[in-house]
């Protein structure tokens, strides 16, 4: 039960939209600042890929700052929603694909896995990072974000809001702790600590930085350049 891909099978399109349609202003700020962290580095000619793009919430805010943006998601319903949500943008491509098995011949300047995607897309984080790096151009950047440990109370409040809207099961407080949220219907979301990110990044041999943003997100940014250059 806990291993199922909850976002793909249940929390997609319209329901995913409701997740982000929050009444909690601190969550709105967190979501905005997470996007802004990527946006501030983007160049007008950049080709960007978002892994697990959902209904296109983030791509809509980045499309105007990049040359081309592509989103892939395992959920056909979410991609159909995204096609409509982003219909006014001409530099957007959307594809239904499982990141772990997808074939790709394009290379990107920027790849993003935001909103704790390293947890949401399941699979082995080390392999997810290796595959992402293989899809980046030399000197391209991979942005991965998770929740800051300082944002636990707000994160719980947001997940309670989602449970109240029946988007998730009720939070199982016996099992929910140390950055891991478990709901009574089997939903599970983990997080990555600074040490986890450090270990994952070091293993790539590329340059990296780890930053807390807005007191809410923890970012791992890997640049595809050998660490000793």
Binding site for ligand SAM (CB under 6 A): 5, 7-8, 12, 16, 20, 52-54, 57-58, 72-75, 78, 98-100, 114-115, 117, 120-122
Nearer to ligand SAM, 89 or 207 (CB): 89
Shorter beta-carbon distance to ligand SAM: residue 52 or 140: 52
DSSP string, the chain: -TTS-HHHHTS-HHHHHHHHS-S-HHHHHHHHHHHHHHHTT--TT-EEEEES-TTSHHHHHHGGGSSEEEEEES-HHHHHHHHHHTTT-TTEEEEE--TTT------EEEEEE-TTHHHHT-S-HHHHHHHHHHTEEEEEEEEEEEE-GGGHHHHHHHHHHHHHTTSSPPB-TTT-BTTBEEBTTS-EE----HHHHHHHHHTTTEEEEEEEETTTEEEEEEEEEETT-
Which is closer to ligand SAM, CB of 17 or CB of 198?
17
Residue 100 or 126: the one with the smaller Cβ distance to ligand SAM is 100
The least CB distance from residue 146 to ligand SAM, in Å, is 11
Tell me the closest approach of the beta carbon of residue 95 to ligand SAM, in angstroms.
Answer: 10
- Minimum distance from CB of 44 to ligand SAM (Å)? 23
Cβ 6 to ligand SAM, closest distance in Å? 8
For the CB of residue 31, give the shortest distance to ligand SAM in the complex, in Å. 8
Q: Which is nearer to ligand SAM, 120 or 218 (CB)?
A: 120
């Amino acid at each position: 039960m806990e291993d199922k891909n909850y976002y793909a099978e249940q929390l997609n399109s319209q329901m995913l939209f409701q997740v982000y349609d929050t009444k909690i202003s601190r969550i709105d700020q967190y979501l905005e600042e997470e996007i802004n962290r990527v946006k501030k580095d983007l160049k007008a000619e950049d080709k960007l890929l978002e892994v697990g793009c959902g209904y296109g919430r983030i791509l809509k805010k980045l499309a105007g700052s990049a040359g081309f943006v592509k989103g892939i998601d395992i959920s056909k319903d979410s991609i159909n929603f995204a096609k409509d949500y982003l219909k006014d943008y001409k530099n957007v491509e959307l594809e239904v694909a499982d990141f772990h098995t997808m074939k790709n011949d394009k290379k990107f300047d920027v790849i993003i896995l935001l909103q704790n995607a390293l947890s949401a897309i399941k699979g082995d984080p080390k392999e997810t990072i290796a595959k992402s790096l293989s899809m980046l151009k030399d000197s391209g950047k991979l942005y991965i974000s998770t929740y800051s440990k300082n944002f636990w109370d707000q994160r719980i409040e947001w997940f309670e809001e989602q449970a109240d809207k029946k988007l998730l099961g009720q939070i199982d407080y016996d099992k929910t702790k140390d950055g891991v949220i478990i709901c009574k219907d089997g939903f599970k979301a983990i997080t990555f600590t600074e040490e986890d990110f450090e270990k994952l990044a070091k293993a790539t041999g590329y340059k990296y930085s780890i930053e807390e943003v807005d007191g809410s997100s923890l970012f791992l940014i890997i640049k595809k350049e050998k660490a000793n250059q």
